[in-house]
């Protein structure tokens, strides 16, 4: 299966106070950590919701300001047009994605997403038109609600996948990672 990796990175980082995609963890940006985690599973990577100097960049669809669903919509449409079967998505602020991410999500038929972080998911590109219509017709921008609407299978992982929303979250993440070593 031809797989597109999509890093959802269009947020404003209000709680973080600065651009969290560019925040540094162990000498590399959060966005770089996510790219490295997705790369082994994907035939190509895109960054959604921003421009990036090293990766293909997609503007949110159908317009900016729709949150992570706008980024996923852009990735699904791009993927469908380019002949990809599915999109493996992750937010730019989830640097601790497990190595078996794709294997676990692909065990399900159709769409699948992580229970505690539904922005991490495997989405058939055939959902592009459905998501575009959803964004045009609904004011609900909840990723969880949309995942339920397309009957995405919720997948649990042994350890909770977390994301980094504040500088304190980043500090706690660095501390937890240090004690695991």
3-state secondary structure of 5: strand
Residue 45, strand partner residues: 5
Count of CB atoms within 10 A of residue 52's CB? 18
- In this predicted model, what pLDDT tens digit does every residue of 15-51 receive, in sequence order? 666 678 888 888 899 999 999 999 999 999 999 998 8
Write the CB contacts of 74 (distance below 8 Å, at least 6 apart in sequence).
48, 49, 58, 59, 60, 61
The whole-angstrom separation of Cα 44 and Cα 34 is 13
Domain ranges across the chain = 3-180
For the chain, the first-to-last Cα distance in angstroms comes to 35
**137 three-class SS:** helix
- Under a CB-based contact definition with an 8 Å cutoff, are residues 142 and 131 in contact? no
CATH of 3-180, picked from 3.40.120.10, 3.90.550.10, 3.40.50.300, 3.40.50.11540, is 3.90.550.10
pLDDT band, very low/low/confident/very high, at 161 (cuts 50, 70, 90): confident
Confidence of residue 8 (pLDDT cuts 50, 70, 90): very high
Answer yes or no: are the C-beta atoms of 175 and 167 closer than 8 Å.
no
């Amino acid at each position: 299966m031809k797989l597109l990796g999509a890093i959802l990175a269009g947020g404003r980082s209000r709680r973080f106070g600065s651009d969290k995609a560019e925040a540094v963890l162990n000498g590399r940006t959060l966005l770089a950590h996510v790219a490295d985690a997705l790369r082994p599973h994907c035939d190509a990577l895109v960054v959604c919701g921003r421009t990036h100097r090293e990766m293909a960049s997609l503007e949110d669809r159908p317009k900016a300001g729709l949150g992570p669903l706008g980024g996923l919509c852009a990735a699904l449409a791009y993927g469908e047009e380019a002949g990809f079967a599915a999109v493996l998505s992750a937010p730019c602020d989830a640097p601790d994605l497990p190595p078996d991410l794709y294997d676990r999500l692909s065990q399900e038929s159709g769409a699948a997403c992580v229970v505690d972080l539904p922005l991490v998911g495997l989405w058939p590109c055939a959902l592009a038109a459905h998501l575009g219509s959803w964004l045009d017709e609904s004011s609900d921008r909840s990723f969880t609600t949309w995942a339920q609407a397309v009957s995405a299978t919720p997948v649990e992982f042994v350890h909770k996948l977390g994301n980094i929303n504040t500088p304190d979250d980043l500090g706690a993440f660095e501390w937890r990672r240090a004690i695991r070593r």
